[in-house]
Chains A and B, each alone.
Chain A
Amino acid sequence: MTGRQAPVGDWTTDFDHTDPTWVRDPYPIWAELRAQCPVAHSERYGGTWLPTTHELVSEVAYDTEHFTSRAVVVDNLRPTELDLPAPIGLAPPITSDPPFHAMARRMLLPAFAPKKISSLEPMVRKLCGELLDATAGRSVFDAAVEYTQHIPVGVIVGMLGFPLEDADIFRRFITQVLEKVDLPSEERLDMFMQGEIEAYLNDQIEAHRAQPRDDLTSFLLEAEIDGNKLAIEHVRGTMILLMVAGIDTTWSAIGAALWHLGSHPDDRRRLASDASLWPTAIEEFLRAYAPVTMGRLVIEDFDFHGHRMRKDDWVLLPFPSANRDETVFRDADKILIDRQENRHAAFGLGIHRCLGSNLARMELTVALKEWMARYPDFELSDPEAVSWSGGQVRGPRNLPVRVLN
């Protein structure tokens, strides 16, 4: 979903995160910006800033006084057209600011804490095993289409207690939200207004009200903040958050790691023969191929290191660029699956640290281990046919592989 905009000529003054060059390989762009223009600006999307160093990305992530999370997906819509008023936002708590943010987040954290998440591991392993079973006997297939894309959506749909056969509804919705950001604002607004998702969620909520179950939907319907049940908009918003934040992202992380293993046979063989490398390898894939670039809005006009930021300007927060910053990570552009020091920011920094990071890490680990147990020898069958998603979540959407032996 790229290429609707004019091609970018100068990345320091006119960048566009949907430009085909950025989508194909953003790392050289970010490296150049970190060295020469660590706070870039573009008039696109109504005015967007792009800090690229680890230090500046951290500073914005920690600064909730000057930057709001009310809207986090940079697009052509003016932020006021669709949003609930701050501080709740469309999809709390990712779109919430302090102090409401802390309450909405605290309510959800127990469901995503490490010990709770590890109990979901058998379900994920079973899902991965079934997907791999369906590829049996074929030497060439698309690992993104047949494997990676089904894992996180299956997990989230399962956690919410929705029928697994409805997963396609969510994939369509997520593509609209995250990848069609360069549509004109009227078209994008129409797309949301005529969307099927709200009616679908209302039906599911009704079904769960009539018959409560042991799942996240019933959890949200029972949850309270300050002794009050959540508003229906809050319940729907959090469901949307889980889909938008939990599906594309992990799908991308699993796919990027498989892309690496399929194109770096030395690392693949090392990992296949030495299981003790898994923990550092997982963190290194997360660092080097962090899928998520977050978004913020400027709250009021102010001066940011000599740059005049204006109210409602967008700010892109490229955590993947921070993760390649040479001043923080030695040999930052090298993928070292035994890297010992790795303070990567793949899950963000500060109060909005990815709520689902424990879930994502578990899914990534299980999905890669199950894959490598089944197909320890594989390669990219057609490297030119690999396609990457555009926008703020980067990962392979086509990943043709050949199983060897």
Chain B
Amino acid sequence: MTAVKFKVTVDPDRCQGHNRCFAIAPEVFDVDDLGNAFVVGDGTVDGALGAKAQNAAANCPEYAITVTEFQG
């Protein structure tokens, strides 16, 4: 059995700390003491969290977030 999963990454060179992703999907993203974003764990999520991560990506002003679907 395989299921649809999502690999989420934040490009630290593009992220400027707008904090949109952490506000939308705190299960997937966190921010450091400077306010810059990073993914929780290794950034692999499934189901509803994948949709939330995609929504966060669609709200990042710096186009810093990538969400890639894969079978896992």
* Chain A residues positioned under 8 Å from B33 (CB to CB): 109-110, 113
- Would you call A195 an interface residue if the criterion is a C-beta within 8 Å of the partner chain's C-beta atoms? no
Taken together as a complex, chains A and B put the C-alpha atoms of A340 and B54 apart, in Å, by 11
- Would you call A106 an interface residue if the criterion is a C-beta within 8 Å of the partner chain's C-beta atoms? yes
What's the nearest-Cβ distance from chain A to residue B36, in Å? 8
Taken together as a complex, chains A and B put the C-alpha atoms of A350 and B23 apart, in Å, by 19
Binds B, one of A77-85, A309-317, A351-359, A397-405: A351-359
Given contacts A343-B59, A343-B63, A344-B61, contact A349 B35 (CB under 8 A): no
B59 in contact with A110 (CB, 8 Å): no
- Would you call B40 an interface residue if the criterion is a C-beta within 8 Å of the partner chain's C-beta atoms? no
- Would you call A129 an interface residue if the criterion is a C-beta within 8 Å of the partner chain's C-beta atoms? no
A357 in contact with B18 (CB, 8 Å): yes
A114 in contact with B59 (CB, 8 Å): no
Taken together as a complex, chains A and B put the C-alpha atoms of A341 and B22 apart, in Å, by 15
A339's closest neighbor in chain B, by CB? B59
The B contact surface, by secondary structure, is: loop
Given contacts A110-B33, A110-B34, A113-B35, contact A341 B59 (CB under 8 A): yes
Given contacts A353-B16, A353-B17, A357-B19, contact A114 B61 (CB under 8 A): no
- Would you call A347 an interface residue if the criterion is a C-beta within 8 Å of the partner chain's C-beta atoms? yes
A282's closest neighbor in chain B, by CB? B23
A109 in contact with B34 (CB, 8 Å): yes
- Would you call A279 an interface residue if the criterion is a C-beta within 8 Å of the partner chain's C-beta atoms? yes
Given contacts A114-B31, A279-B23, A358-B35, contact A109 B17 (CB under 8 A): yes
B16 in contact with A114 (CB, 8 Å): no
Number of A-B contacts (CB under 8 A): 56
C-beta contact mask, A308-350 vs B, less than 8 Å → 1, else 0?
0000000000000000000000000000000011111101011
C-beta contact mask, B33-72 vs A, less than 8 Å → 1, else 0?
1110000000000000000000100111111000000000
B63's closest neighbor in chain A, by CB? A343
Between B22, B33, B55, B61, the greatest number of chain A beta carbons within 10 A of the residue's beta carbon is seen for B61
A358 in contact with B59 (CB, 8 Å): no
- Would you call A97 an interface residue if the criterion is a C-beta within 8 Å of the partner chain's C-beta atoms? no
B62 in contact with A341 (CB, 8 Å): no
What's the nearest-Cβ distance from chain B to residue A119, in Å? 14
B35 in contact with A114 (CB, 8 Å): yes
What's the nearest-Cβ distance from chain A to residue B60, in Å? 6
* Chain B residues positioned under 8 Å from A342 (CB to CB): 58-59
Taken together as a complex, chains A and B put the C-alpha atoms of A115 and B57 apart, in Å, by 21
* Chain B residues positioned under 8 Å from A345 (CB to CB): 61
B60's closest neighbor in chain A, by CB? A343
- Would you call A75 an interface residue if the criterion is a C-beta within 8 Å of the partner chain's C-beta atoms? no
A350's closest neighbor in chain B, by CB? B16
* Chain B residues positioned under 8 Å from A349 (CB to CB): 16, 61-62
A113 in contact with B16 (CB, 8 Å): no
Taken together as a complex, chains A and B put the C-alpha atoms of A350 and B31 apart, in Å, by 17
Taken together as a complex, chains A and B put the C-alpha atoms of A179 and B63 apart, in Å, by 33
B34 in contact with A113 (CB, 8 Å): yes
Taken together as a complex, chains A and B put the C-alpha atoms of A387 and B43 apart, in Å, by 48
Taken together as a complex, chains A and B put the C-alpha atoms of A340 and B31 apart, in Å, by 22
What's the nearest-Cβ distance from chain A to residue B13, in Å? 11
B residues apposed to A, CB below 8 Å = 16-20, 22-24, 31-35, 55, 58-63
Q: Can you identify 9 A-B contacts, CB atoms within 8 angstroms?
A: A109-B35, A113-B31, A113-B34, A279-B24, A283-B20, A341-B55, A343-B58, A343-B59, A343-B63
A residues apposed to B, CB below 8 Å = 106, 109-110, 112-115, 279, 283, 340-345, 347, 349-351, 353, 357-358, 361
